[in-house]
Amino acid sequence: MDSSFNLNIQRLALQIVPFFMAVIFHEVAHGWVANRWGDSTAKDQGRITFNPGPHMDLMGTIILPILMMASGSGILFGWARPVPIDPSRFRKFRPGLFWVSAAGPLMNFTLATFSAFAFALLNRYLPADFSLAEPLTGMALISVSLNFSLGIFNLLPLPPLDGSKIIESFLPYNALRQYEQLAQYSFWILLALIMTGALSILQGPIEFFSRIVLGLAVSVIGLPAGGGA
């Protein structure tokens, strides 16, 4: 069997769990914060759960990510089924919209940080001859950059991404309605960004923040310089 195919399968095996965690925790964060602001829609529909089932989207969570991972694509794109949110039920519309929208990316950044510390801890305390040492540290390392990727990507000001909702929380009503009209072109704008390679501009901040949290984790846990990172 072709060695590049085997390499892609190995990469897929390491990426799939961190990816599922990243997109599912992202949606759970939206639903949980919405409930705190008075909108129980996601809770009522059983979506504030870490059970993958209710969050799975056939194309966004399974087919597209697996195809991109297996092909060795440098861009990992996918999504879980969005949790239902009704902003009209928020106790206060603008701060509710802001914090509910920010909750998903903030969850990804939190997961990235925890993953960095998990990576450092695994490198320090797992015996070198432990059979799962390499895949576990590999998944933790992948989870750092993957969560920063998804979190930063979702901050793009393109409806319906979270970044657009954060901007909407500051807009007056008429400007908000005009801004929402951009949503009808979002797919084509996103497709153009992917095909032209424009999204590669995100690689800089993704790598920067990944290095920061990995360096912090390695420093705190006390690994030798370059301790596996």
Q: Which residues contact 152 (CB under 8 A, 6 or more apart)?
A: 105, 202, 205, 206, 209
How many Å apart are CA 150 and CA 22, to the nearest integer? 8
List, as one string, the DSSP characters of 15-29: HHHHHHHHHHHHHHH
SS3 label, residue 4: helix
How many Å apart are CA 60 and CA 213, to the nearest integer? 28
Catalytic residues: 27
Q: Which residues of 119-158 are buried (b: 16+ CB within 10 A; e: fewer)?
A: bbbbbeeeeeeeeeeeebbbbbbbbbbbbbbbbbbbbbeb
How many Å apart are CA 207 and CA 205, to the nearest integer? 5
Secondary structure percentages of the chain, helix, strand, coil, to 5: 70, 0, 30
How many Å apart are CA 217 and CA 219, to the nearest integer? 5
Omega before 52 cis (within 30°)? no
